[in-house]
Amino acid sequence: MNPEAKKTLRRLVIAVPLMFAFGFALVPLYNVFCEVTGINGKVFQSDNAEKLVIEDGRPLGLQFISTNNENMPWTFRPSEDVMTISTGKYYTATFYVKNTTNKTMTAQAVPSVAPSNAAAHLKKLECFCFEQQELKPGEDALLPVRLLVSDELPENIENIILSYTIFDVTEYDDEAVAQHIHEEHHEMEH
Amino acid sequence: MSAVIENHHDDHHHGPAKGLTRWLYTTNHKDIGTLYLWFSFAMFLIGGAMALVIRAELFQPGMQIVEPEFYNQMITLHGLIMIFGGVMPAFVGLANWLVPMMIGAPDMALPRMNNLSFWILPFAFFILLSSLFMEGGAPNFGWTFYAPLSTTYAPPSVTFFIFSVHIMGASSIMGAINVVVTIMNMRAPGVTLMKMPLFVWSWLITAYLLIAVMPVLAGAVTMMLMDIHFGTSFFNAAGGGDPVLFQHIFWFFGHPEVYIMILPAFGIVSHIIETFSRKQLFGYSSMVWAMLSIAILSFVVWAHHMFTVGLPLAAELFFMWATMLIAVPTGVKVFNWVATMFKGSLTFETPMLFAIAFVVLFTIGGLSGLMLAIVPADFQYHDTYFVVAHFHYVLVPGAIFSIMAAVYYWIPKWSGNMYDERLGKLHFWLSFIGVNVTFFPQHFIGLAGMPRRYPDYALQFADWNMVSSVGAFLFGVSQILFLFIVVKTVMGGKKATDQVWEGARGLEWTVASPAPYHTFTTPPKVD
């Protein structure tokens, strides 16, 4: 094979692992893209929410939805289905959970906001979804979420739905997974 | 065979070895091309049989023949086998046979890798097909294997599916690297880039697409593998992942893949229309630029497959316009084909019939694609039979008709014998009628709201489904005739001349028929 052909071959052979790596690079790129644009209902928190506190916010409906992922037997429901809130103020909402099984289980709640362009304006100071919950058989708890809706919320939005899906993660005893989730939420908080 | 003996005097090479080892050890581009073509034919028949199971079940509403679980396995395997086993290896086979002969090269640049890239393919499909007999059955999540269907809810055989996709990907990547190195470095003196035959151009672009996206597919299935077995959560929301991410990665591969399956067809059809119009192809350089533009645009349109996942408006508009933009270079190509035929001395041998049918029916498939590109309309059409009709129109009378046209067009060069023209025409008309009867009614039932991928349907869809099934069996049975014609031609028949077709141009028509085992061991002179 002549040297020119070898050069072409070398370039192409290098391109293959690069594109393989690019496939994986799409994972963080995708998250960054969602964070910047606030799409996909992913809840991120980038700036200090304190400065978003204002006195005369506009009224807003905040609705809560709880969903059990398949095979998740716990009782999981919002304490109140609907709250009337005003923008630029902190509120605390609670969710009731009960482990209805006879074994100790670990759960992870994953939030989503609709409409998706409201996601960037819903700031959580504190949320049970930032960590995992472990409940003993028959144990129950009230899980709090402390949140604020920024006044920069697009004017046409009069209702926001905050939905949580609760997953059984008992089998994910892998520390790395727990760490990953923790870090991701940690980033959101700051 | 006299040509082989003549060749004997020129150099120290020998003809093919005898027996099975000829095929196992061969590094000859023509042998490997033949292997690829027969392999893809076998896969075409297996995938076709699965399609007939699907159409038999859909002949009437209600469950008749198979269990719903098995139906899901059939739609999954039908798609995977036709794409990765039927269309793609057929194009690689054609590239092996034709690219070296068209550019005046003695063989592919990397002959041993060529052997490897073919011989791992049968293993990939053996693994995939063997999953049918495994506990829990074959993959049942559709050929697009969306997570979490293909991860959390997948049958255990999904791991075998993942490895078979890895092997198919490795095979395609090696094949593509081989094509690029051959075209970039082994052209005969005088064959400049803008003098290359369009089939060579189409394959050069296709090969770059393959090298760019097959590794991304490998990445996607690797992430699935890690989610399933190693506790990661790429696509698992419980662990902080996102199933929509899967769709983004998959279609980043998937849309260029669509063009991987049609660009070589563009090349083939350009040659055939030129030959049987007895004119020079209209707009050669615009054909090249059109293919390049299509290839580049193919990387920025993937999300039009996922308009309904909840993209923001700006993204939907961007992907809608980008998708519609592809109609421009495609329109240039269709215009050029028609302009080539305009005032030509046309004759309608079988390859030309398939090529003209390609132009007409591919355009229909392209236009339904434009309809699907319109965001608000797509919300209605998404996952209905309208989509099924669309992509079968671009793949069956598109890609597959072009492969059949290529076989009829070049088989006299490969075998030295002319095929039976009457049987060829019969095969064309049966296929043409069969394909339209099968897929045209699917537009209607799709627009009426029948969802894809279900083994049963509501009563109002019954009539057109029955028509569609009748067409499918007509199309399926007529491919047995195709097999018969090919075997008959290889066994014997009227001897072909070296040029074969009156209007044929290009280096491959300057060598003897059948093409000697070794061609262009000294580069030809090209002005």
Model confidence pLDDT, tens digit, residues B167-217 = 999 999 999 999 999 999 999 999 999 999 999 999 999 999 999 999 999
pLDDT higher for B239 or B70?
B70
Dihedral sign computed on CA atoms, order B158, B161, B167, B169: negative
Query: Which residue among A4, A12, A117 places its CB closest to the CB of B211?
Result: A12
Write phi, then psi, for B237 (nearest 5 degrees). Answer: -60, -30
Active site residue B452: yes
Q: What is the mean pLDDT of residues B473-498?
A: 96
| Residue of chain A with shortest Cα separation from B246 | A27
Strands A59-68 and A82-86: antiparallel
Distance from CA of B407 to the nearest CA of A (A): 30
The pLDDT-based confidence of B1 (bands split at 50, 70, 90) is: very low
Compute the distance between CA of residue A34 and CA of residue A40 in angstroms, rounded to an integer. 6
Active site residue B304: yes
Compute the distance between CA of residue B527 and CA of residue B524 in angstroms, rounded to an integer. 10
Chain A positions touching chain B (beta carbons under 8 Å) = 1-2, 4-5, 8-9, 12-13, 15-24, 26-27, 30, 37, 39-42, 69, 108, 110, 116-117, 165, 167-169, 172, 174, 176-177, 180-181, 184
Q: Evaluate whether residue B389 is within a structural domain.
A: yes
Tell me: pLDDT of A56 over 90: no
Catalytic residue (one of B330, B350, B384, B438):
B330
Nearest to B172 by CA among B51, B83, B64: B83
Strands A82-86 and A105-114: unpaired
Task: Give the per-residue pLDDT at B384.
Answer: 97
Query: Which residue among A20, A41, A172 places its CB closest to the CB of B219?
Result: A20
From chain A, the residues in CB contact with B177 under 8 A are 9, 12-13, 16
What's the CATH number where B390 sits? 1.20.210.10
At how many degrees (to 10) do helices B421-447 and B401-415 cross? 160
Of all residues in chain B, what percent carry a pLDDT higher than 70? Answer: 97
Distance from CA of B40 to the nearest CA of A (A): 25
Nearest to B366 by CA among B418, B318, B408, B329: B329
Compute the distance between CA of residue B282 and CA of residue B268 in angstroms, rounded to an integer. 15
> With an 8 Å Cβ cutoff, is B360 touching chain A?
no
Task: Give the per-residue pLDDT at B238.
Answer: 76
Task: Give the per-residue pLDDT at A47.
Answer: 54
From chain A, the residues in CB contact with B181 under 8 A are 5, 8-9, 12
Compute the distance between CA of residue B82 and CA of residue B47 in angstroms, rounded to an integer. 6
Q: What is the mean pLDDT of residues A181-185?
A: 51
Active site residue B172: yes
Q: Evaluate whether residue B526 is within a structural domain.
A: no
Q: What end-to-end distance do the CA atoms of chain B give, in Å?
A: 30
Tell me: pLDDT of A38 over 80: no
Q: Evaluate whether residue B517 is within a structural domain.
A: no
Query: Which residue among B185, B215, B237 places its CB closest to the CB of A16?
Result: B215
Give the largest CA-CA distance in chain A. 77
The pLDDT-based confidence of B344 (bands split at 50, 70, 90) is: very high
DSSP lists the bridge partners of residue A145 as A93, A127
Q: Looking at beta carbons, which pairs linking B295-301 to residues 24 or more positions away fall under 8 Å?
A: B295/B205, B295/B206, B295/B208, B295/B209, B295/B256, B295/B259, B295/B263, B297/B322, B297/B325, B297/B326, B297/B329, B298/B209, B298/B255, B298/B256, B298/B258, B298/B259, B298/B326, B299/B212, B299/B252, B299/B255, B299/B256, B301/B255, B301/B326
> With an 8 Å Cβ cutoff, is B149 touching chain A?
no
Q: Evaluate whether residue B518 is within a structural domain.
A: no
Question: Do the chains contact at B310 and A116, CB–CB below 8 Å?
Answer: yes
- As given in the structure block, the two tokens for residue B135 are 């506990």
Structural contact between residues B388 and B442, judged by C-beta atoms closer than 8 angstroms? yes
Query: Which residue among A9, A117, A180 places its CB closest to the CB of B240?
Result: A180
Asked if the bond preceding B514 is cis, omega within 30° of 0, the reply is yes
Distance from CA of A12 to the nearest CA of B (A): 6
The pLDDT-based confidence of A179 (bands split at 50, 70, 90) is: low
Q: How many residues appear in chain A?
A: 190
Task: Give the per-residue pLDDT at A186.
Answer: 46
Q: Evaluate whether residue B252 is within a structural domain.
A: yes
Write phi, then psi, for B398 (nearest 5 degrees). Answer: -90, -95
Q: Evaluate whether residue B514 is within a structural domain.
A: no
Task: Give the per-residue pLDDT at A175.
Answer: 54
Write phi, then psi, for B399 (nearest 5 degrees). Answer: -60, -50
Q: Evaluate whether residue B524 is within a structural domain.
A: no
| Residue of chain B with shortest Cα separation from A6 | B181
pLDDT higher for B262 or B2?
B262
Q: What is the mean pLDDT of residues A44-50?
A: 58
> With an 8 Å Cβ cutoff, is B218 touching chain A?
yes
Structural domain count of chain B: 1
Q: What is the mean pLDDT of residues B359-375?
A: 96
Residues spanned by the domain of B236: 2-509
The pLDDT-based confidence of A40 (bands split at 50, 70, 90) is: low
Q: Which helix (H) or strand (E) holds A107?
A: strand A105-114
Nearest to A123 by CA among A34, A36, A45, A35: A45
Q: Evaluate whether residue B300 is within a structural domain.
A: yes
- pTM reported for the whole predicted model: 0.84
From chain B, the residues in CB contact with A19 under 8 A are 211-216
- CB half-sphere exposure, A57, CA atoms < 13 A: 21
